[in-house]
Amino acid sequence: MHRREFIGAVGSAVALTQLSCGGVKQAYRGSLGKLNRVGLQLYSLRDDARVDLERTLADIASIGYKEVELLGSMNNFGMPPAKLREVLDRNGLEAPSTHVSANALKDLQGQITEAKILGHKYIVVASLPIAKPATLEDYRRWADLLNAAGRTARERGIWIGFHNHADDFVKIDGQVAYDVLVERIDPDAVRLQLDTGNAAMAGYNPIDYMDRYGDRYWLFHIKDVPQLGAKTDTELGQGVIKWRPFLDSIAGIDGKEVFVEQETYPGRPIDSIRRDFEYISKLEF
């Protein structure tokens, strides 16, 4: 994934302190809980999926993941929707969400039809094709396009979502582009997916964005980083994001979609996502 220089980097000691504290205010839960289901973004095993998608989905299920976020942006590696649904069902997997390119909105009705076959609740736009240097007007224009697509999708019972990349947090004319986009997006038409690792790669503590827009986030990519502003991610629990306060900050988490995502690996990807599952599925918060 292409990364820009992160904005507003802080010293590592300050970063660790901020990440461990968090600021989202909510009622004390009274007792610790765990995630009731854990999903995986299929991009985590993209190379395996290119070789054998059916086997890869079986491997994901065998680890214990209950959900998978698919890759409509990669045409689900050429597997037809009906066949893919059969493979998912056979492995006890649900696919509540898929990532698509922004160009997919040009055939929104076709995307919705596939979503219905695959059991999606969300069609998430993975990134915006904004040429550099970006302007705030680019982000406003895309917010309007997302809103229009979202209103159409709601007529057929599907939500349009938006997923952040690190470069969405660029500052333009003194404003963070992502903030401008979010504030123009209509929450009744479009729901947001917070990629924690991408926010952290941009130099921002993801829990600060839970403070700011927590009720706007309905989907999450749980991704760790070795430090704020890093160019790559790392296995869960090996980085600086403190997952207990972060997960505890998500109101109504059992009704939201939580997907592990890891993009770079110290060894075999399947081994990393197995360790990721062991970590996050056992974590009490």
Examine residue 3 and state whether it is found in any structural domain, yes or no.
no
Evaluate whether residue 249 is within a structural domain: yes
Rounded to an integer, what distance in angstroms lies between the CA atom of residue 239 and that of residue 16? Answer: 10
Q: What is the spatial distance between Cα 169 and Cα 177, in angstroms, rounded to a whole number?
A: 6
Q: Which amino acid is at 12?
A: S
Average pLDDT over residues 235-241: 98
Mean per-residue pLDDT of the chain? 91
Structural domain contains residue 7: no
Flag whether 143 is in a domain. yes
pLDDT at 212 over 50: yes
**Tokens 């990532």, residue?**
99
At 6, the amino acid letter reads F
Map residue 163 onto helix, strand or coil.
strand
**Contact at 8 Å (CB) between 40 and 69?**
yes
Pairing outcome for strands 159-163 and 217-222: unpaired
Is there a domain that residue 271 lies in?
Answer: yes
Confidence class for position 276, pLDDT limits 50, 70, 90:
very high
Closest CA to 91 of 50, 59, 43, 49: 59
| Bridge partners (DSSP) listed for residue 193 | 163, 219
218: domain CATH number is: 3.20.20.150
Distances (CA, A) of 249 to 213, 253, 275: 11, 9, 23
Decide if 208 is inside a domain: yes
pLDDT in tens, 2-57: 333 322 333 333 343 444 444 433 433 456 899 999 999 999 999 999 999 999 99
Residues in a beta bridge with 124: 99, 161
241 within a domain of the structure (yes/no): yes
Q: What is the pLDDT of residue 132?
A: 94
How many domains does the chain fold into? Answer: 1
Token pair of 41 as six digits = 């973004």
pLDDT at position 32 is 85
Contact 153, 112 (CB under 8 A): yes
Per-residue pLDDT at 74 exceeds 90 = yes
> What span, in angstroms and rounded, lies between the C-alpha atoms of 275 and 283?
12
pLDDT of residue 31: 66
Domain range for 101 is 12-22+34-282
Report pLDDT digits (tens) over 130-181.
Answer: 999 999 999 999 999 999 999 999 999 999 999 999 999 999 999 999 999 9
For residue 23, the 8-state DSSP code is: -
Asked if residue 4 is part of any domain, the answer here is no
Any residues with CB less than 8 A from the CB of 131 and at least 6 apart, and which?
Answer: 138
Model-level pTM? 0.90
What integer is the mean pLDDT of 89-99?
Answer: 98
